[in-house]
Copies of this chain bind each other. A is one copy, B any other.
Amino acid sequence: MKPEAPDVAGALAARRVGIDTYRENVVFLRRDCPLVRAEGFVALSKVEVRAAGRSILAVLNVVDDPRLLGECELGLSEQAFALLGIGEGEPVRVTHAEPPPSLAALKRKIAGHRLSRDELAAIVRDIAGRRYSKIELAAFVVATNQFELDRDEVLHLTAAMAAAGRRLDWRALDPAALVVDKHCIGGIPGNRTSMIVVPIVAVHAQRCGMLMPKTSSRAITSPAGTADTMACLAAVELPFERMQAIVREQRACLAWGGRAQLSPADDVLISVSRPLSLDSPGQMVASILSKKIAAGSSHLVLDIPLGPTAKVRDMASAQRLKKLFEYVAQRLGLALDAVITDGRQPIGRGIGPALEARDVMQVLHGDAAAPQDLREKALRLAGRVLEFDPAVRGGDGVKLATEILDSGRALAKMRAIVDAQGARAFDWRAPPLGRLSHVVEAPADGTVIGIDCERLARIARLAGAPQTPGAGVDLLRKLGEAVVRGEPLYRIHAGSAAELQFAREVAERASGFTIGDADNLPAPAGEF
């Protein structure tokens, strides 16, 4: 480690090496390259590569095979080559990477100290700039887990994360508009309410100063994100200029947010916290609110599901989390309406992109088979969003949302949004489901008194969701319904025999359904 090393490296010729290393920049140098000895590089050294004014950090792999690389060549992985943006053979310089400037602050956090606004900002800058190694990222995520961040630290972390990337600005469309949004903290399979809320709100927004430019994520550890589900119906990867044009016309959109570089530090942190299943209150608040602020939202309805297998499992935790969201949102000028909802079971029937898109279209079409719980929840959330409009009286939102949905105007608006984004063929009456399926049956007579959200999400993922859009789980029974032994509980859809087998084996070990006495049905705890 030569942290204060001056640049003593001679220039090498860049060479693109066709190796995909995902989010990690890797560069290759031959062991007999004079620079390797002069600089004391070893395999896995962290290096800085500079060319034509640009610079990237990368991990070094040392090459022993002279056929792979010339002696004075620097090989760059696909990612590194693309980020550096140079041509083959152009000169590049390589030096030891300096340690990230915020390392002292990270060590203070590990030692249990409270961090200042400046320290958190420095950490976020280094994370967004990809100057942290995976070890340092994991250390930050674990050290800030649980009760290690007080509410002002969460505030400063959120503000720094929102500031670290791009910030969408909708004022060019309508300088006075409320930019509204709706978000769920996650953990409940199905629950695809955004695709119903957005067209309802967009209908109303035509008549008032409201915009709902919804950006969503793809699934990371869940069987489907809103972006995955919407992608069954329309293109979702839209450049900002396209999004702007669509929102100008339709007052809303349903796009994937990953392209916009919103809160890039959040993406980096998620890549480490999810494999560890870490989702502490502070990290959740910073993650969600930094993305919303970066997306230009001014008003947000937040869905906090509460249930025995949801992310939040008791009312006291739900209230604490709600207050933390409220504190940070208020300080950052975001109007927040946080709602604790019934999270005892999946919402709707489908779990997986195509199955969830079918549920959504059934609701928008007013189809007799539409899942009522999904319809109800979407209407209530839409009502809350509509009530951000000063002209809508408190309590009138649900009624207004119901009128818009039942009139068919929400469906028409959804079609207009889908066409504007680029429609894809999708027949909701005969959705393109995985061609292999397996039915899981009730092991006994009784009432469904428990549906494990985590277990069903896992089974849907093993079946191939979201990579295979038609894969997943179709629930045939919900909480409180009576079943007799041998009756189907749910159907697993998969695209390949191997995936069906994975999912089946796990379902056979534990189906995720509890059949018991109707008296033991847990009562709903949320507002709706």
Q: Is the CB of A146 within 8 A of B43?
A: no
A112 at the interface (CB under 8 A from B): yes
Q: Is the CB of B498 within 8 A of A61?
A: no
Residues of B within 8 A of A84 (CB): none
Residues of B within 8 A of A64 (CB): 18-20, 78
Interface 0/1 of A45-83, CB less than 8 Å to B: 000000000000000011111011000000001100000
The residue in A8, A17, A43, A63 that gathers the most chain B C-beta atoms within 10 A of its C-beta is A43
In the complex, A137 Cα to B134 Cα: how many Å?
10
Chain A contact residues (Cβ within 8 angstroms of B): what range? 35 or more
Interface 0/1 of A96-113, CB less than 8 Å to B: 000000000011001110
A436 at the interface (CB under 8 A from B): no
Residues of B within 8 A of A136 (CB): 138, 275-276
Kindly provide the distance from the CB of A240 to the nearest chain B CB, expressed in whole angstroms. 27
Residues of B within 8 A of A21 (CB): 43-44, 61
A177 at the interface (CB under 8 A from B): no
Q: Per a CB cutoff under 8 Å, which of B23, B44, B464 touches A23? A: B44
The residue on B at minimum CB distance from A68 is: B18
Given contacts A18-B64, A68-B18, contact A145 B467 (CB under 8 A): no
Q: Is the CB of A276 within 8 A of B139?
A: yes
The residue in A67, A145, A276 that gathers the most chain B C-beta atoms within 10 A of its C-beta is A276
In the complex, A24 Cα to B499 Cα: how many Å?
29
Q: Is the CB of B5 within 8 A of A502?
A: yes
In the complex, A64 Cα to B20 Cα: how many Å?
7
Q: Is the CB of B20 within 8 A of A31?
A: yes
Given contacts A38-B498, A139-B142, A502-B4, contact A63 B20 (CB under 8 A): yes
**Copies of this chain, how many?**
2
Kindly provide the distance from the CB of A379 to the nearest chain B CB, expressed in whole angstroms. 35
A1 at the interface (CB under 8 A from B): yes
Kindly provide the distance from the CB of A75 to the nearest chain B CB, expressed in whole angstroms. 9
Residues of B within 8 A of A133 (CB): 134, 275
A40 at the interface (CB under 8 A from B): yes
The residue on B at minimum CB distance from A30 is: B18
In the complex, A134 Cα to B138 Cα: how many Å?
8
Q: Is the CB of A272 within 8 A of B61?
A: no
In the complex, A506 Cα to B2 Cα: how many Å?
10
Kindly provide the distance from the CB of A502 to the nearest chain B CB, expressed in whole angstroms. 5
A135 at the interface (CB under 8 A from B): yes
A17-B65, A107-B277 known, 12 other contacts, Cβ within 8 Å: A1-B461, A5-B502, A6-B501, A8-B498, A18-B67, A19-B28, A20-B61, A38-B496, A107-B276, A110-B146, A111-B146, A135-B137
Q: Would you give 12 A-B contacts (Cβ < 8 Å), ordered by A?
A: A5-B502, A17-B65, A19-B28, A19-B62, A20-B63, A38-B498, A107-B276, A110-B145, A134-B138, A135-B135, A138-B138, A142-B142
Query: Which A-B residue pairs are the 7 nearest by beta carbons?
Result: A18-B65, A138-B138, A22-B43, A18-B64, A20-B62, A142-B142, A22-B44
